[in-house]
Structure 1
């Protein structure tokens, strides 16, 4: 007989609470959005408690997003560039460094409201982690990712419902776990 290991956890909590202010405007075929988002940790955190469903650190994310649509070819180019300024996690005495992130998508409308294309993201940590909890040093991470994306926007009455599915495969990873990710979301626009 081999050794047996058993572990269990119980409990619950909320993920992080985010508050966002944004300003959008249209210039010809370009739509722009500038934003500031504040992240407030509210989830339960203790050593050994899994899963941790939030970042559990306060932060401020600033950025600019754009969409360019060519109505004749039905091509769309989307991007969001931003900086996240992280603050100290008091539970671990760890402060993650400031990071730059760029998310992008290129797609074509193949049917009314249905856009298929390629999506990706790039992440670069610009300053090192710090604090007594940063026992492995500055640990500056980076990663790139690419994959297919699909968006469908049907009308529910007169209200657009935006359904989005993306799959990412990561590469060029440094000081982070590498893997893949699937994101599915729905947004009601009113």
Structure 2
């Protein structure tokens, strides 16, 4: 006695069944989301009473509710208005570089978030700004933003400089960055 087996058609899910599963799944996700929100696991801003807004319309009136921390400044070299003004002048002056062709702002440009918008910065010998900079020494890291750098406890990517005063020497003397001899720079500035 031999049995013959006829192939049977595999049933395909009907579009009604698919829609039903989709609706149930969507309802489950909606209920789960509502539950998470109601338990406070996912924070959301509360409604503000009428007339109570986070700012009074004046610049700087919103934001931090506490004072900035103290900057890392040396006691033996206090900050003065004259030093701040000199720092602003030197920051944009290419005299700090060996060829007098790049300033601090070349790699830490204000319009680029005080950085250079590059994955790897381009230092000494380069031409241009930001991503358009070319023909210079490639530095194997990006220029970090210097926005609020005075509040950092250490400077540089690896933290090798204790403060901005110590940090300022690094790029100026680096042969891949500004490539300037400090003694020649002092003579040039006089």
TM-score band by shorter chain is under 0.3
Normalised by the size of structure 2, how large is the TM-score?
Answer: 0.23
Normalised by the size of structure 1, how large is the TM-score?
Answer: 0.23
Normalized per residue, which structure has more strand? 1
**RCO comparison, higher one (Cα < 8 Å, 6+):** 2
